[in-house]
Amino acid sequence: MLSLLNYTGLTIVGYTAVVLGIVSLMPFLVMSSIAIPKIHPHRWLSLGQKGVEKDWNLYFNTLFWNLNFWDSVSTMAGEVDRPQKTFPVALLVAVVFTCVAYLIPLFAVTGSVSVDQSLWENGFMANAAEIIAGKWLKIWLEIGAVLSAIGLYEAQLSSNAYQLLGMADLGLLPRVFAARSKWFDTPWLGILVSTAICLGFSYMNFTSIISSANFLYSLGMLLEFASFLWLRRKMPGLKRPYRVPLSLPWLAALSLVPSAFLVVIMVYATKVVYLVSGLMTVGGIAWFFLMRLCKSKKILQFSNGDVGEVNGED
C-alpha cells in the first residue's frame, strides 16, 4: 500500500515526506521542552555506567545508518528543476536540520532521565518520554516513530526506483526497467522490484539489516570516492551539474576522512553481515556479467546509453 504512494509521483511523495517529518518530530520537540527543568548538565559528562558493556558495533552502525545515504538523492536529479543550485542548498539545510533533530532530544533525555543504562535499548526513547511526561507522550512518540519509518521507506523506495530507471537508460539493465507509468510518469517496474526486495529482507532483525546495509553502502561509497577522484584527474573538463571548488590534492584529503570511517564500519561488521554482504556482492558481480551476456546475445533489449536516448529524444 505504501508503494502505491510512490507510484503517484515524486511531488506527492515529497509533500507527504514533509508532512510526516513535521508530525513525527512534534512529540520529540514537546518531550525536549518538558524535560528542560529536569535536566542536570553534569549527566552529559558521564563516561558510562560501570558494569554495562558498551556495544560499539551497534553504536557505530546506528550512528552511520542515521546519517548516511545522502548520495541517494542524486538518482532523482533528472526530476529536479536546476539541481546544480537546488541540491547544495537542500543538502546543507537537511544535514543541519537532521543533526539538530537528533541532538536536542538526545541531550534532553540523557540530561533529565536517570535509569540503569542496561535499559537503553531499541525503543527506550519512548519509555523516556513516559518518564518525563507520562503515558500520553509515550504513545504519541511511538506514533511519530511509525510515521518516520513510513517517510524513510517512501524516500528510499523513490531513490531505488529511479536508480534502476537510470541504469536502464544507460544500458546497464534491460530497457524494460526504464518503463514509466502512462498516468503518473513514474518507473513502475523499479518500484515493484524494490518493494519485493524490501519484503524479502524483512525477516532480518534491525541490527542485521542496518549493519548489512551499511557494509554494502560503504563498498559503494568507496567506489564513488575513487570514481570522483579518477574523473577529476582524467576528465577535469567534463560537463557536470555541480563542481566541487577544490583542487585534486584537497579533494583526495577530503575523501580520506569519510573513507576511513567507512573502513571502520566494515571492520566492526559481524559474521552474519559478512555473509549477507558477501553473497549480495557476488550476486551483483554475477548479475553484471549476465547482463553483459544478454546484451551481446541480444536476448533482452537494452538502451545504447546515448544522451539523446536518455533524455527521451530517441
**Residue 35: Cβ within 10 Å count:** 23
- Structural domains in the chain, sorted by start: 2-310 (1.20.1740.10)
Number of Cβ within 10 Å of residue 51's Cβ equals 8
What is the overall mean pLDDT for the chain? 85
pLDDT tens-digit map of 256-286: 988 998 898 888 888 888 888 889 889 989 9
Q: What's the confidence (pLDDT) of residue 313?
A: 43
Instruction: Report pLDDT digits (tens) over 173-213.
Output: 898 888 888 888 888 888 999 888 888 777 777 777 888 88
**Which of 85, 68, 69 is CA-nearest to residue 77?**
85
- The per-residue pLDDT for range 280-289, each reduced to its tens digit, is 889 989 999 9
Query: Angle 221-222-225 (CA atoms, 0-180°, nearest 5)?
Result: 85
Q: What is the pTM of this model?
A: 0.75
When pLDDT is cut at 50, 70 and 90, the band that residue 28 belongs to is very high
| 68-80 burial code (b ≥16 CB/10 A, e <16) | bbeebbbbbeebb
pLDDT tier for residue 306 given thresholds of 50, 70 and 90: low
